[in-house]
């Protein structure tokens, strides 16, 4: 299999289970792939989540200069320069924008009946991530099994997404993970991140491979279809490991 000049991965459900660290096997696979091509990870989480889930799990000799991090759904880009992660850009929301978005998210939880903010949760339900505001129905630290069981048919997230989108027409509203809704500035999504990174590092989108577990209509990887990148759907981190073996063999 031809190795593209850039391989971009979704994070949760593609490289790891929701908010869980990479397995040792995945870390080894990515480390080997980093010796052969550039890798980017793009997802709705904030930078600290990327560092704990991905970077801290890689061996110390991993070629981090070939790794690019695009948190908050591509609204920001970080590169490893002079032994530190440097922010290249961030499409940051203003404090007022973030506050207005939070009010709509809270109203959506109440009016759809899917979230009761007076009930205990696993950490904060709404997180301001600089370039993105994220609603997590069960809280930011909810156990993976509970998150996966909360909305198996996506009906709750679809209802929340429809409500928030109708009240925030000048923003981009996306279903994020198993329990989350992400809001960024208008037209800021994974396609934006792909365009920006390819332009910055001089890699044609046609020689970029996007790998994700939600490459379908309404999925959080769907925006990749708006670019010139090749796409490869996967069903799990184990499926991704198999793909990486094929790329490096």
How would residue 2 be classed by pLDDT, with cut points 50, 70 and 90? confident
Q: Inform me whether the pLDDT recorded for 1 exceeds 80.
A: no
Each residue's pLDDT tens digit, 54-98: 999 999 999 999 999 999 999 999 999 999 999 999 999 999 999
Mean pLDDT of 143-152: 95
The model's pTM is: 0.93
Where in the chain are the domains? 6-91+188-248, 95-185
How would residue 135 be classed by pLDDT, with cut points 50, 70 and 90? very high
pLDDT for position 123: 96
List of residues 6+ apart from 236 with CB closer than 8 A = 13, 213
Residue 82, CA distances (Å) to 49, 76, 235 in order: 21, 19, 36
Give the rounded percent of residues in the chain with a pLDDT score beyond 90: 96
Give burial (CB, 10 Å; 0-12/13-18/19+) of 15: buried
Whole-angstrom distance, CA of residue 142 vs CA of residue 9: 23
Q: Inform me whether the pLDDT recorded for 239 exceeds 90.
A: yes
Mean pLDDT of 165-181: 95
Residue 137, CA distances (Å) to 97, 113, 123, 176 in order: 21, 11, 10, 11
Write the CATH number of the domain with boundaries 95-185. 3.30.1240.20
pLDDT for position 100: 98
Whole-angstrom distance, CA of residue 194 vs CA of residue 90: 14
| DSSP states of 218-235 | TSTTGGGGGSS-EEEE-S
How would residue 133 be classed by pLDDT, with cut points 50, 70 and 90? very high
pLDDT for position 188: 95
Name the superfamily (CATH) of residues 6-91+188-248.
Answer: HAD superfamily/HAD-like (3.40.50.1000)
Strand, coil or helix: 52: helix
Count of other CB atoms within 10 angstroms of residue 20: 13
Mean pLDDT of 3-25: 96
Whole-angstrom distance, CA of residue 17 vs CA of residue 5: 26
How would residue 218 be classed by pLDDT, with cut points 50, 70 and 90? confident
Each residue's pLDDT tens digit, 90-121: 999 999 999 999 999 999 999 999 999 999 99
Kindly state the DSSP code that residue 3 receives in the 8-state scheme: P
pLDDT for position 200: 98
Nearest-5° Cα angle at 18, 3 to 75: 65
Count of other CB atoms within 10 angstroms of residue 217: 7
């Amino acid at each position: 299999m031809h190795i593209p000049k850039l391989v971009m991965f979704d994070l949760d459900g593609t490289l790891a289970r929701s908010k869980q660290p990479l397995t040792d096997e995945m870390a080894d696979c990515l480390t080997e792939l980093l010796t052969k091509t550039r890798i980017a990870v793009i997802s709705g989480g904030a930078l600290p989540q990327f560092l704990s889930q991905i970077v801290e799990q890689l061996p110390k000799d991993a070629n981090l200069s070939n790794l690019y991090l695009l948190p908050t759904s591509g609204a920001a880009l970080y590169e490893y320069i002079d032994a530190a992660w440097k922010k290249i850009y961030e499409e940051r929301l203003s404090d007022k924008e973030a506050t207005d978005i939070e009010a709509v998210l809270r109203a959506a939880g109440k009016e759809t009946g899917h979230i009761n903010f007076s009930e205990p949760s696993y950490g904060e339900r709404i997180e301001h991530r600089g370039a993105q505001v994220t609603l997590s129905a069960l809280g930011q630290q909810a156990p993976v099994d509970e998150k996966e069981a909360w909305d198996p048919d996506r009906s709750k997230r679809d209802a929340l997404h429809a409500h928030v989108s109708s009240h925030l027409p000048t923003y981009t509203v996306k279903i994020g993970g198993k329990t989350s809704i992400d809001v960024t500035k208008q037209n800021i999504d994974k396609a934006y991140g792909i365009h920006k990174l390819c332009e910055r590092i001089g890699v044609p989108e046609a020689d970029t491979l996007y790998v994700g577990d939600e490459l379908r209509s309404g999925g959080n990887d769907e925006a990749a279809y708006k670019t010139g990148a090749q796409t490869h759907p996967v069903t799990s981190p184990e499926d991704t490991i198999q793909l990486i073996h094929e790329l490096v063999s």
